[in-house]
């Protein structure tokens, strides 16, 4: 065992645009987590707090047992949120992100689902140690859009994974060796939506009072419009560790481009905050697509499998339309799956498909579309 010690600071804030804070956080002895709830009314708040319960329980265990139990704790949290959302109609469709870290023997053990983030600060540099489970992150991975385009994309808040959306969830896990002086930052997208990684690096490395650092980041996010709930946890590793990475930098300077960026962000946020972000932040429950089961056209909940293969398909309704009766070009399109924001839009598309079907009395050779 190395003689690592940990200290942490944290802050959560409702922001400037939301009425409730659906984020939740935990900063314990060796367990740290941020959860960002999703769902109408108070459902998001219920989801994030419920999910945190099983993570908090880890802090009562030894670091070794907590690290070993982290993945299971997140899966248990998923089940708890999912079951509760099935039981209570008012909570139907709720979900939450979860980014949790247990520090044990000089390693950070990470478990992650959703678009909250974990960063490692070392030697004045910042590195993301979690991967966003969002549609736009996927598009970046596939080379369809650039990281810059992703940052401003109107659909950047659409998640491909969240706790509570399904009965089982795929949890990202990572183990990162730590060195004395390292800092970890866990935060919700209310922070990363308005501060870029360099800015988070500058803030998180600037000073020794970790609570104050968190407050400064929250204040900056609010200065830039505070379009969403904002949550930050900063953890610092102190004492002599086993690894010999360079000592980190406490007083990193602020990014000199900050004022210009701030102006650009303020303009973007003004345009986006009250429309895109608010509306786009949904779990897959609020997405539908028209696809095919067997030879029959059907409406499913979720995203077309080609787009998001991880999300299990959920059949909502069959339509009685046979794909083989559709014009070829339309059949190809339907087999690919066409996404819709609501069930009524999906049904409207199905109605269009019905019109495209050759009438039973029509020429047996079929007609041109
Ligand atoms: Ca959020």
pLDDT band at 148 (very low <50, low <70, confident <90, very high): confident
CA of 358 to the centre of ligand 1 (A): 47
CA of 135 to the centre of ligand 1 (A): 15
**C-alpha distances out from residue 71 to 41, 100, 169, 171, Å:** 29, 9, 11, 7
CA of 178 to the centre of ligand 1 (A): 28
CA of 59 to the centre of ligand 1 (A): 25
Residue 41 has pLDDT above 90, yes or no: no
Q: How far apart are CA 165 and CA 47, in angstroms?
A: 11
Q: Mean pLDDT throughout 53-64? A: 97
In the three-class reduction of DSSP (H, G, I as helix; E, B as strand; rest coil), residue 198 is classed as helix
CA of 189 to the centre of ligand 1 (A): 5
Q: Mean pLDDT throughout 85-97? A: 94
Sign of the dihedral through C-alpha 299, 302, 305, 307: positive
Q: Mean pLDDT throughout 203-215? A: 98
Residue 60 has pLDDT above 60, yes or no: yes
Q: How far apart are CA 360 and CA 364, in angstroms?
A: 8
Please, where in the chain does CATH 3.60.40.10 lie? 3-281
The token pair that represents 303 in the structure block: 């995203």
Q: Considering only the top CATH level, what class is 3-281? A: alpha beta
pLDDT of 165-180, one tens digit each? 999 999 999 999 999 9
CA of 36 to the centre of ligand 1 (A): 5
CA of 229 to the centre of ligand 1 (A): 6
pTM for the predicted model, two decimal places: 0.67
CA of 203 to the centre of ligand 1 (A): 20
> φ and ψ at 234, to 5 degrees?
-120, 130
Output the DSSP codes for 124-188: TEEEE-S---BHHHHHHHTTSS-HHHHHH-TTTT-BS--BTSSSS---EEEEEE--TT-EEEEE-
Q: Mean pLDDT throughout 189-214? A: 97
């Amino acid at each position: 065992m190395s003689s690592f010690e940990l200290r942490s600071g944290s802050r959560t804030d409702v922001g400037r645009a939301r009425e409730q804070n659906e984020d939740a956080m935990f900063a314990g002895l060796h367990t740290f987590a941020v959860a960002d709830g999703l769902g109408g009314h108070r459902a998001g708040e219920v989801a994030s707090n419920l999910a945190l319960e099983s993570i908090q329980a880890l802090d009562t265990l030894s670091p070794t047992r907590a690290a070993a139990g982290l993945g299971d704790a997140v899966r248990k949290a998923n089940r708890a949120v999912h079951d509760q959302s099935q039981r209570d109609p008012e909570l139907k469709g709720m979900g939450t992100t979860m980014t949790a870290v247990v520090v044990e023997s000089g390693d950070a053990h990470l478990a992650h689902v959703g678009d909250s983030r974990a960063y490692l600060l070392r030697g004045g540099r910042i590195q993301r140690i979690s991967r966003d489970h969002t549609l736009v992150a996927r598009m970046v991975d596939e080379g369809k859009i650039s990281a810059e385009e992703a940052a401003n994309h109107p659909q950047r808040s659409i998640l491909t994974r969240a706790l509570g959306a399904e009965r089982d969830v795929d949890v990202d896990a990572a183990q990162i060796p730590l060195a004395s002086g390292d800092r970890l930052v866990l935060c919700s997208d209310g922070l990363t939506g308005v501060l870029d990684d360099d800015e988070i690096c500058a803030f998180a490395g600037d000073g020794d009072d970790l609570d104050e650092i968190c407050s400064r980041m929250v204040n900056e996010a609010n200065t830039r419009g505070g379009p969403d709930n904002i949550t930050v946890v900063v953890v610092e590793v102190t004492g002599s560790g086993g690894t010999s990475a360079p000592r980190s930098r406490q007083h990193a300077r602020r990014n000199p481009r900050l004022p210009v960026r701030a102006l650009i962000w303020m303009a973007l946020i003004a345009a986006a905050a009250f429309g895109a972000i608010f509306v786009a932040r949904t779990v897959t429950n609020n997405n539908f697509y028209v696809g095919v089961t067997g030879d029959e056209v059907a409406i499913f909940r979720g995203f077309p499998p080609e787009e998001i293969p991880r999300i299990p398909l959920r059949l909502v309704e069959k339509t009685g339309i046979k794909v083989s009766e559709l014009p070829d070009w339309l059949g190809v399109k339907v087999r690919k799956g066409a996404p819709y924001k609501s069930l009524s839009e999906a049904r409207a598309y199905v109605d269009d498909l019905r019109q495209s079907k050759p009438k039973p009395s029509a020429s047996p050779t079929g007609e041109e579309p």
